[in-house]
């Protein structure tokens, strides 16, 4: 059984993951409205991933017989000045989440809860990838901000394939 502090913090993290879902959805809709379908598609997919993260955490708490609180979420930023701003916001968000995830792993270790610490390992690895992806994307949109079609071509080239299922990913609640 995880310590109360870990349960509280993981519930807070569930709220952050749902907030990330809403933020990425708002970014996807923004790009869709700007007729940038490849950027939109990328962020629709990122949104689904964030929802999955929340559902993995929910499943963990259910399995541990701990309280799960489905949070309300504050409205995300929906208006952006240029093509770069949403990606800059996304990178900022991923960096913040990385700190939160590391904090959760540390909190688990402090109480000798190695099961929860191990649960957080997958998210630590995931954050390394997400920060790297978003940093790369920020470089691309900054370099080509005056040529959105160049960015769209890059997205189609680099992010067109369906991502395969990650067999090491924790089970998400409701995923069968």
Instruction: Give the footprint of Fe ion on this chain (CB under 5 A).
Output: 17, 50, 53, 130
Select the residue whose beta carbon is closest to Fe ion and give its number. Answer: 53
How far is it, in rounded angstroms, from Cα 60 to Cα 128? Answer: 21
User: Contact 75/69 with Cβ under 8 angstroms?
Assistant: no
Least distance in angstroms from the C-beta of 36 to Fe ion: 20
Least distance in angstroms from the C-beta of 112 to Fe ion: 26
Least distance in angstroms from the C-beta of 17 to Fe ion: 5
The dihedral over CA atoms of 55, 23, 124, 156, expressed in degrees to the nearest 10, equals 100
Closest to Fe ion by CB, 94 vs 152, is 94
Tell me whether residue 86 is exposed, middle or buried, using C-beta atoms within 10 angstroms of its C-beta: 0 to 12, 13 to 18, 19 or more: buried
How far is it, in rounded angstroms, from Cα 98 to Cα 92? Answer: 10
Closest to Fe ion by CB, 50 vs 117, is 50
Closest to Fe ion by CB, 17 vs 117, is 17
Q: Residues for the chain: how many in total?
A: 176
Tokens of 24: 């990425």
Q: Where are the alpha helices (DSSP H) in the chain?
A: 4-33, 37-63, 85-110, 114-143, 148-158
Closest to Fe ion by CB, 117 vs 130, is 130
Least distance in angstroms from the C-beta of 116 to Fe ion: 17
Least distance in angstroms from the C-beta of 20 to Fe ion: 5
Closest to Fe ion by CB, 106 vs 132, is 132
The CA-atom distances, in angstroms, between 25 and each of 4, 47, 50, 70, 77 are 32, 6, 10, 19, 10
């Amino acid at each position: 059984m995880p310590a109360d502090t870990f349960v509280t913090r993981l519930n807070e993290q569930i709220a952050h993951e749902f907030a990330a879902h809403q933020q990425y959805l708002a970014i996807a809709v923004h790009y869709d409205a700007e007729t940038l379908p490849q950027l939109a598609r990328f962020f629709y997919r990122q949104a689904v991933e964030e929802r999955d993260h929340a559902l993995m955490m929910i499943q963990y708490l259910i399995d541990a017989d701990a309280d799960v609180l489905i949070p309300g979420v504050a409205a995300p930023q929906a208006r952006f000045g240029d093509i770069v701003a949403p990606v800059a916001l996304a990178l900022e968000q991923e960096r913040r989440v990385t700190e939160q995830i590391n904090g959760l792993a540390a909190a688990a270790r402090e109480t000798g809860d190695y099961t929860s610490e191990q649960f957080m390992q997958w998210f630590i690895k995931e954050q390394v990838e997400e920060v790297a992806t978003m940093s790369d994307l920020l470089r691309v949109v900054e370099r080509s901000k005056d040529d959105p079609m160049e960015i769209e071509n890059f997205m189609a080239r680099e992010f067109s394939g369906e991502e395969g299922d990650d067999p090491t990913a924790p089970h998400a609640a409701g995923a069968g």
